[in-house]
Structure 1
Amino acid sequence: MKPTTDWRLLWRCFLYLAPFKAVLIGIYGSMVLINLVQLIIPLLLRWGIDEGIYGNDLGLLARAVGFIMLATLVKGVLVYYQGVWSESSSQSVAYFLRGEILAALGRLSFSFHDEMEAGQILSRAMQDVERIRFLTGRAILRLIEGALLILSIAVVLLVMNSTLALLILLTVPFLVHRAYIFGRQIRPLSVDIQQQLGVLTTTLEQNLRGARVVKSFAQEEKEIAQFAEQNEQWYEIAEKTARVQALNAPLLDVIANFGTVFIFWYGGWLVTQDQLT
C-alpha cells in the first residue's frame, strides 16, 4: 500500500475522535504541559547544581529540590489524566465502530452473507476495531508527543549550543529510515495474521455449528488435524512477526541512544573546557 494511503487511513482514524473535542483538548493540552515540565526539570537540575552546590548556597539547593519534586508531581498527575482521557476516548470510538459494523452487516444483502465466511467477519470486527482503538488512543498521541519532544529539545539545545542540537538531530534521519523499514516489514505480517485468524475462526465456527454432522460422519480426527495445521500456520506467522519486532525495537533504541552518547561526549568536553555548565 502506498504511504499516501497510509496517511489517509491515519487521518480517517483520527477523525473518529471528532465528537470528543473537549477530551481531545485535555489530552493534547496535557501533552504540551508534560513536555514543558520535562524540559523544565533539567533546567532546575542545572540551576541547583550551578548555583546551589558550586555556589555553596544550601537554601537555593533546597528550593531547587522542592521545585523538582513539585514538577515531578505535576507531571505524574498530568500523565494520569492523559491516560484516562485517551483510553476513554478510544474506548468510545471502539463502541461506536462496533455499533456501526453491526448496523452495516444488517443492511447487507443475503448474497454477501452467503459468500462471506462468518469467521472472517468476526476476525475483522474484533481485530480491526481493536487496532483502531489503540491507534486513536495511545498510538497517535505517542507519535505527536515524540515529535514535539524532539522539536522542543532541539530548540532548547539551539539556544544553549547549536552544535549540541545538531548532534542530537543527527540520529533523526536514521530513526525515520529504520522506522519506515520496520513499518514495511510489519504491515504485511499483520495482515497475514489477521487473515489466518479469520481462517481459524471460520473453521472453529463451522465445527461448532456442524458438530452433529462431523460426529455422524466420524470426521473428528480430520477436522482436528485441519485445525491443528491452520493453527500451526498462524503460529509461524506470529513467530515471524515477533522476530521482526524483537529485532527492530532494540535497534531503534540503539539509534536513539547514539544521540545521548554524542551529547554526553561533546557536552562533557565543553564542561571540561569551562564552556558549558
Structure 2
Amino acid sequence: MAGPAGRMMAGGGPDQRSMDFKGSGKRLLAQFRPERYTMYAMIAAVMLSVGLSVVGPKILGHATDLIFAGIVGRDMPAGATKAEVLAQMRANGDGDQADMLSGMDFTPGEGIDFGAVGETLLFALTVFLIAGALMAVATRLVNRAVNMTVYRMREDLQAKLSRLPLSYFDKRQRGEVLSRATNDIDNIGQTLQQTMGQLVNSLLTIVGVLVMMFWISPLLALVALITVPLSFFVAKKVGKRSQPHFVQQWKSTGKVNAHVEEMYTGHNLVKVFGRQEESAQQFAEQNEALYQASFQAQFNSGAMQPLMFFISNLNYVLVAVVGGLRVASGALSIGDVQAFIQYSRQFSMPLTQVASMANLVQSGVASAERIFELLDADEQSADPRPAERPEVLRGEVSFEDVSFRYEEDKPLIEDLSLTVEPGHTVAIVGPTGAGKTTLVNLLLRFYDVTGGRITLDGIDIAKMTRDELRAGIGMVLQDTWLFGGTIAENIAYGAPKDVTRDEIEDAARAAHADRFIRTLPDGYDTVIDDEGTGVSAGEKQLITIARAFLSDPVILVLDEATSSVDTRTEVLIQKAMARLAHGRTSFVIAHRLSTIRDADTILVMENGSIVEQGTHDALLAAGGAYARLYKAQFAEAVVEVE
C-alpha cells in the first residue's frame, strides 16, 4: 500500500543514518549542565556512601578475626605468649598449623571477647546505616536532576516544533513525530532514572573496592583483576551487536505509531473502501519488524548479564583458592580473606550492573539521537529584528512578481502580480493543484516566497514578525480543527483572553451556529473532544467560522469554508460573510462558484498563474476559463479533461 514517498515519510531519509553513540551520549550528558550543582552534591553523597560501604567488610572481617582468635586462644595454656605457643606447635610437628595461626592475633588462655565483638558489630551497623541514608539522599538528588533535565528537553522539543516550518510536517507522518515527542522522551527519562545514579555508584564502588583490595593483599587484588579485561571484551562485543537493533527498535516504534494514528483518524475511509485487510497486513508487517528489532536488541543485550555472572563466579573461585593458600601460609588472616571475598563480590557486582545497564543506556541514547535529529532540523527563518509594521492596518495586499516552488526543480508559481484593495473580496478559483491554497499559505508565511515579495499596507511581510502578521488574519479551512473542551472555549480560541460570553454568542449567531448549539444538552458548555464527536461536519465548520469572526481580523481567509454545509446554511453564511466582510479584505477559495458571485474580483488560476481576473459577469461574458468552469457546474456541460 505504501509507495516510495510513504516509505520515506514513515522513517526514511535522515532517520536511516547510523547511530553516533558516543556523540549522542555526550550531548545527552551535556543536557545536565543546568543541574551541575545538584549533580555535584549527588556525587559527593555517593562518594561518602560508597566509602562507608567499602569500609564495612573490613570491619566485619575484624569481627571475624576476634571470634576466631577467641576460639583458638581459649584452648591454649594461659600465661604463655603467642610466640611460645607457635614455637611449641612447630616442635611438635604442627608447622603448617603454626604458619596458619601466625597470621592470627590471639591471646593464649583467653576466649571470645564478646564486648569487643559487639562494639565492632555496632560500629559496622552504624557505618552501613549512614551509608544507606547518604545513598537515599543521592537517589533523591539524581531523581531531581533527571526530572528537571527531561522537563527542559520537553520544553525544548515543544519550542522546536513551534519553530519548524510547515514543510517539515508535510514530509513526515504525524504519528512518527508524536512518537519522538512522547515515546522517545519517556524512554530517555526512564533510562536516566534507572541508570544515572546506579552508574555513578557502580563506578565509585569499583574504585573504592580496588583501593581496599590492594590494601589487604596486592597479590589477591591482581588475581581478581585477571577477569577485568575479559569483562570489558564481552561488554564491548555484546554492546556493538545490540546498538543497531535498539536504533531500529525505536524507528519501528515510530512507524507503528504513525500507521495506527493514520488508520484510527481515517477509520471511516478504511471501512468504506474495504481496506481493513490491507491495513491489518501493513500493521502486521510493521509490528513484526518492531518485534524482530526489539527481540534482537533485548536478546543480544540480555546475554550480557549471564556472561558477566559467569566471569564473576570465575573471579570468585580464583580469589577463594589463592586466598585459602595465603591463609594456610599465615600471610593473611581469615577475616582478611573473608573481607576480600566480599570485596571481590562487591567488585564483580558493579561490573555486572554496568554491563546489564548497557541495554538501557543503548536504548536511551538511541531515543536521544532521534530527539536531537528533530532538534537539529532546519527551522523557519527568524523574524527580523527590528521588525516593521504598518502604522494603520487597513488590509491592502500586494503580490509583486511572486515566484514559489515546493521543490527546487518544480516551479509552481512564476511572476505572479496582484493588488487587493482594502475591504475588497477576492475569490480564487481553478482546478485542483492550480496553486490556490499556496497563494494563501504564502500570505500567511506558512511558506516564504522564492522570488518577488508580498506587501501588507506597503510593508514587506518578510520584514514583519509572523505573530504580528497573523494577528490581523482570520482563517477558516476546509479541514476543521477543534480541541477537547466546551464549544464556547473552541469559539473563543482565537479571541482576546477577556472575551465575554455575549461576544461569543454574537459570533455564533453571525455564523448561524447559535441555533444548533442551543439544541445541545449543555448549549455552549457542551464538551466535545478533538474529533468533534456529537456534532456534524457542517456544524464543526460553523464553529470554526464563528471562531474566525470573533477574532475580528482585518483580512479574512476562507478556504472552502462552506464545503461541508447544506445549501440553505450556505446561503445564510454567505449573507453573514457579506456583512462581516464589510471593511475587511477577504480571500475566498472556492470550487462551488455559487459562493463567489458577489466577489469584487475573481481570480482564475491554472498551473500557478492567474489566467483571468474580473467580476462574475465580466468573466462570463469573456467566455474563457471561468465561463467553462461555470458551465461545467451549472449547465452540465461536458468538459474534456486532458
Instruction: Quote the residue 2:10 is aligned against.
Output: none
Partners of 2:28 and 2:61 in 1: CA distance: 42
Per-residue CA deviation, residues 123-149 of structure 1 (Å, 9 max, x unaligned), is 222343234334544434433432322
Moved more, 20-29 or 194-203: 20-29
- Cα separation, 2, equivalents of 1:196 and 1:161: 52
- Kept in 2, the 8 Å contact 1:52–1:59? The answer is no
Counterpart pick for 1:43 among 58, 66, 76: 58
Task: Indicate if the aligned counterparts of 1:13 and 1:135 stay in contact, CA closer than 8 A.
Answer: no
Which has the higher mean CA deviation after the structures are superposed, 138-147 or 230-239? Answer: 138-147
Structure 1 stretch 181-190 or stretch 234-243: which is displaced more? 234-243
Which piece of structure 1 moves more, 51-60 or 173-182? 51-60
- Which residue pairs with 2:36 in the alignment? 21
Deviations 1:31-50 (A, max 9, x none): 11121122111111111121
Q: How many residues align?
A: 276
CA distance in 2, matches of 1:11, 1:67: 41
Match of 1:114 among 161, 166, 170: 170
| Distance of aligned partners of 1:2 and 1:144 in 2 relative to their CA distance in 1, 3 Å threshold | farther
Q: Which residue identity lines up with residue 287 of structure 2 in the other structure?
A: N
Partner of 1:198: 254
Match of 1:239 in 2: 295
Confirm or deny: 8 A CA contact 1:199 1:230 kept in the other structure. Answer: yes
| 1:188, distance to aligned residue in structure 2 (A) | 0.4
CA distance in 1, matches of 2:190, 2:233: 24
Distance between the aligned counterparts of 2:289 and 2:273, measured in 1?
27
Aligned to 2:280: 224
Aligned counterpart, 2:316 = 260
- Residues 81-118 of structure 1 show CA distances to partners (whole Å, capped at 9, x for unaligned) of 22222122111111111111111111111111000222
Q: Does the 8 A contact of 2:43 with 2:200 survive in 1?
A: no
Deviations, residues 172-228 of structure 1 (Å, cap 9, x unaligned): 111111111121111101011111111100101111121222122122222122212
What are the within-5 Å matches in structure 2 for residues 148-167 of structure 1?
148-167=204-223
* SS of structure 1 residue aligned to 2:290: helix
Deviation of the 1:28 alpha carbon:
0.7
Distance (Å, rounded) in 1 between the aligned partners of 2:279 and 2:218: 67
Q: Deviation of residue 257 (structure 1)?
A: 3.2
Indicate whether 1:78 and 2:93 are aligned: no
Instruction: State the alpha-carbon separation in 2 of the partners of residues 274 and 248 from structure 1.
Output: 38
Taking the TM superposition and a 5 Å limit, the aligned residue runs for 1:56-75 are 56-75=112-131
1:212-269 deviation line (CA, Å, top 9, x unaligned): 2212212222212221222122112222222213322210222133222222221122
Please say which of residues 259-268 and 110-119 is displaced more in the overlay.
Answer: 259-268
> Which residues of 2 match residues 125-164 of structure 1 at below 5 A?
125-164=181-220
Paired position in structure 1 for 2:305: 249
Name the aligned partner's letter for residue 309 of structure 2. Answer: D
CA contact (8 A) 1:17 1:136 kept: no
By relative contact order (CA 8 Å, sep 6+), the higher-ranking structure is 1
| 1:167–1:263 contact (8 Å) kept in structure 2 | yes
- Change over 3 Å in CA distance of 1:230–1:94 after alignment to 2: same
- Which residue is 1:6 aligned to? 21
Structure with the largest fraction of strand: 2
Note closer, same or farther for the CA distance 1:7–1:218 as it changes in structure 2 (3 Å cut): closer
**Is the 8 Å Cα contact of residues 53 and 61 (structure 1) preserved in structure 2?**
no
- Distance in 2, matches of 1:271 and 1:130, equals 52
Over the aligned positions, Cα root-mean-square deviation in angstroms equals 2.1
Q: For residues 23 and 172 of structure 2, what CA distance do their matches in structure 1 show? A: 27
Q: Is the 8 A contact 1:117 1:202 kept in 2?
A: yes
Provide the rounded CA distance (Å) in 1 between the counterparts of 2:297 and 2:36: 36
Name the SS of the counterpart of 2:274 in structure 1.
coil
Q: What residue in structure 2 maps to residue 96 of structure 1?
A: 152
Paired letter, 1:96: R
What percentage of aligned pairs have identical amino acids? 24
**How many angstroms does 1:2 deviate by?**
9.3
Correspondence list, 1:261-276, <5 A? 261-276=317-332
Q: Deviations over 1:67-92 (max 9, x none)?
A: 12212222222222222221221111
Q: Bigger CA drift: 5-14 or 179-188?
A: 5-14
Q: CA deviation at 1:53?
A: 4.4
Equivalent position amino acid for 1:234 in 2: L
SS at match of 1:116: coil
SS in structure 2 of the partner of residue 54 of structure 1: helix
Alpha-carbon distance between aligned partners in 1 of 2:18 and 2:45, rounded to the nearest angstrom: 33
2:34 partner letter = P
Instruction: Name the amino acid aligned to 1:39.
Output: V
Distance 1:240 1:10 in 2: 22
- For 2:271, the aligned partner's letter is K
Q: Supply the AA of the counterpart residue of 1:41.
A: G
* Alpha-carbon distance change, 173 to 2 in structure 1, aligned in 2, over 3 angstroms: farther
Q: Does the aligned pair in 1 maintain the 2:54–2:209 contact within 8 Å?
A: yes
d(CA) in 2 for partners of 1:2 and 1:39? 41
